[in-house]
């Protein structure tokens, strides 16, 4: 489901043509544990139209600080290195798909 961050730098991954949804999380965060099945469903809905990666804020604090991640889970949608949308909290898959498709159509 997720792109291997070790083979590509974060900045390389988010600069791609394919939109990337980044899930910022921490292992101790209970709401964060609700996101994997939601993201799996979202991936099934959107297929190759969207890459999904997870970033552990404990292991990557610099990335979290750069994108002003203050609450987790925190979702950020990138395309061509630009932030198209950001929201903290658990978001259902259907709502996520709707928001993502809307944001992508606004930035075509």
Residues with active-site annotation: 29, 32
Q: For the residues of 5-39, what is the DSSP string, one character each? A: TTTS-HHHHHTSSS-EEEEEE-TT-TGGGGHHHHH
Start-to-end C-alpha separation, the chain: 25
Judged by DSSP in three states, 74 sits in strand
């Amino acid at each position: 489901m997720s792109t291997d961050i070790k083979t590509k730098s974060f900045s390389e991954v988010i600069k791609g043509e394919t939109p990337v949804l980044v899930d910022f999380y921490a292992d101790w965060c209970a709401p964060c544990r609700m996101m994997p099945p939601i993201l799996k469903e979202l991936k099934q809905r959107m297929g190759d139209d969207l890459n999904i990666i997870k970033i552990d804020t404990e292991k990557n604090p610099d990335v979290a600080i750069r994108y002003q991640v203050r609450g987790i889970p925190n979702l950020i949608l990138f395309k061509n290195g630009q932030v198209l949308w950001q929201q903290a909290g658990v978001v259902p898959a259907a709502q996520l798909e709707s928001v993502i498709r809307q944001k992508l159509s606004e930035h075509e």
